[in-house]
Structure 1
């Protein structure tokens, strides 16, 4: 026989009954999140063109980052090249390449990789042959260009020259910079940048974002080691920001993921603010499991209620530096009318 709601309340009390109902509802919602992530992410299977595209972007962007170094490491990212061969030779990918900006640029980047090694007279035929290169050139067709480059070269004056321009020009001028001098940004300049970022909107104006500044080099190196995606660039990082968002400010189960929304909005505002004040920066992905957060907590004190949103190395850019092309999607790949 089913036990009625009134009977349960009579035994456990109204407050405890409501807490039990909230726990059940929270578990059901997190389970729904789990089901959708398991079904649609690339963690468990790569079974459609969007998932293949995601894999391709991850690897071609890795090639772009490797091309940033003035002294490019010969035959770097061999594993990425082999994975790209696997995906870029799929008939489904070849069919979509002409209409998909990210697939097209992947072919362009892998071709540039081959050309750079030819210029360096480095033999990479054990994992990338001339025949493969020519096939990719053929797939590109008219999109193939000898002038294509996976990186963009700047000098500091040119890079920050649009900072006082209208917003459209300013927004297009922002890029992630990984090449720092090692000099520290004055604290008052950092303060102004973060104060400007505080204009970011948040749900019901709750303003749950927090920013932590680290200037201890040993601690910075340990943070970047846990983050894992800044290898080769960490030597001259003398300052680092950690952006968090506080779970204490969310009061409904429907807001269980709102910290990522508000944190992301604040992050973009912060990146614009840093760029405006000519603070070189690179948002480093913090898509980490709980084990990484526990490891970080051993030497960085952040309240348990706060979720790390992003790690941001900051500093003074070198006089001349390179940034990745990071080709953006055209409007027709993003905007849909319902």
Structure 2
């Protein structure tokens, strides 16, 4: 701890190693020697027979509480507030999503989800003569609402709207007649009569036969890439060009994502001042932050979802994209290191304040990026063997 804080300014060390709750109070009130003695006593107690027995009792009580949804809820109401930030983010996101949809502002994520569902219906076998009746009118309304806001500074939405337009055209050409389809088609025709120029496009954005392109990497090349990639913490004093990063981000954008919503954003910082400011917020960068050329924060966008059941998707989709980003950087000779972003109240607050995040957006993880210093070692980081990572056709009862 002292060795690492020596590499930081006192105020930076205080932020990085900020204590929480009772430990913060004790550290502020007690002399350093007394605080260190209490900390040592706690560690000795945990290692003692009495301490192990106490923690065994706690584990049994937690196990009993976990068997009941009511008791689990009471536990996190009375004894722990660790889920409060997620609760607030999910509720704020739900409010934002519903307001977008029903106040006529349009929610692009809902539109992208519905269009993707219709697109899947277009490729199903056997083809159904009528489908999507429960959502086609909602989808057309969302299409119109999003089109209305597109000219007002939302030009990045245009490709999504062009895709939506072509899928809706394909849908109306495919399905049989039905009163709901007729109403939706009339609404769609009125929208196109008003905004045809906005979604005019020469590129086909409808389902297609993929084929087998030449030039794809072999499994041997993929294995070599995976084995070569390591969490690199020491970099050359050389900036990473933005076109290199943008090309990797473009590759990451093709990662799989739930219903094609892509509920994430990459915030990238590539000046020494910005890297120092943002990179000091996670607790995993002391000792090597000073020489990171570029720092990236993945932001999860929870307003893409209306229901609590989807609350994990921004984390999942953001990390799926992160892995593609990492490999795309590595393919260009640029290395990286994932920086964990645990759910601490102080780091969450500081990240939100620093980046100006609304309550429905949260940091998912961070990434240090730079050209690797070939003279510095990297951790070996033994990975689990194949037998520990997979099972085929296994069934059993929950343990």
TM-score relative to the length of structure 1: 0.50
> Aligned with 1:320: secondary structure?
coil
Match of 2:322 in 1: 267
Aligned-partner Cα distance in 2 for 1:334–1:319: 31
Aligned-partner Cα distance in 2 for 1:304–1:175: 34
2:331 to 269, 276, 284: 276
Q: Is the 8 A contact 1:283 1:311 kept in 2?
A: yes
Cα 1:167–1:289 shift into 2, 3 Å:
same
1:203 paired to 2:258: yes
Aligned-partner Cα distance in 2 for 1:332–1:303: 43
1:295 to 339, 343, 350: 350
1:302-333 CA deviation, whole Å, 9 max, x = no partner? 34322211111111111322110111011222
Q: Which segments of 5 or more consecutive residues in structure 1 lack a partner in the other structure?
A: 1-26, 39-161
Match of 1:172 in 2: 227
Match of 2:99 in 1: none
Q: Is the 8 A contact 1:163 1:170 kept in 2?
A: no
State the shift of 1:301 in Å.
2.8
Q: Is the 8 A contact 1:208 1:245 kept in 2?
A: yes
Q: Is the 8 A contact 1:163 1:276 kept in 2?
A: no
Aligned-partner Cα distance in 1 for 2:259–2:345: 29
State the shift of 1:176 in Å.
0.9
Cα 1:166–1:32 shift into 2, 3 Å:
farther
Aligned pairs (5 A) from 1:304-319: 304-319=359-374
Aligned-partner Cα distance in 1 for 2:308–2:74: 12
1:228 to 262, 283, 291: 283
Q: Which has the larger radius of gyration?
A: 2
Aligned pairs (5 A) from 1:120-199: 166-199=221-254
Cα 1:165–1:334 shift into 2, 3 Å:
closer
State the shift of 1:33 in Å.
11
1:247 paired to 2:305: no
> Aligned with 1:179: secondary structure?
coil
Cα-Cα RMSD: 2.9
State the shift of 1:164 in Å.
11
State the shift of 1:195 in Å.
0.5
State the shift of 1:216 in Å.
3.0
Q: Is the 8 A contact 1:164 1:170 kept in 2?
A: no
1:170-228 CA deviation, whole Å, 9 max, x = no partner? 22221110001231111111110110111111100111121011123223223232212
Cα 1:299–1:167 shift into 2, 3 Å:
same
Aligned-partner Cα distance in 1 for 2:227–2:358: 35
Aligned-partner Cα distance in 2 for 1:240–1:225: 10
TM-score relative to the length of structure 2: 0.43
Cα 1:33–1:273 shift into 2, 3 Å:
farther
Aligned-partner Cα distance in 2 for 1:210–1:163: 30
Q: Is the 8 A contact 1:281 1:312 kept in 2?
A: yes
1:324 to 339, 354, 379: 379
Cα 1:33–1:217 shift into 2, 3 Å:
farther
1:258 to 307, 313, 327: 313
Q: Is the 8 A contact 2:352 2:358 kept in 1?
A: no
Aligned-partner Cα distance in 1 for 2:245–2:318: 19
Match of 2:85 in 1: none
> Aligned with 2:384: secondary structure?
coil
- Number of residue pairs aligned between Structure 1 and Structure 2: 187
1:135-192 CA deviation, whole Å, 9 max, x = no partner? xxxxxxxxxxxxxxxxxxxxxxxxxxx9996212222221110001231111111110
Cα 1:280–1:269 shift into 2, 3 Å:
same
Q: Is the 8 A contact 2:280 2:289 kept in 1?
A: no
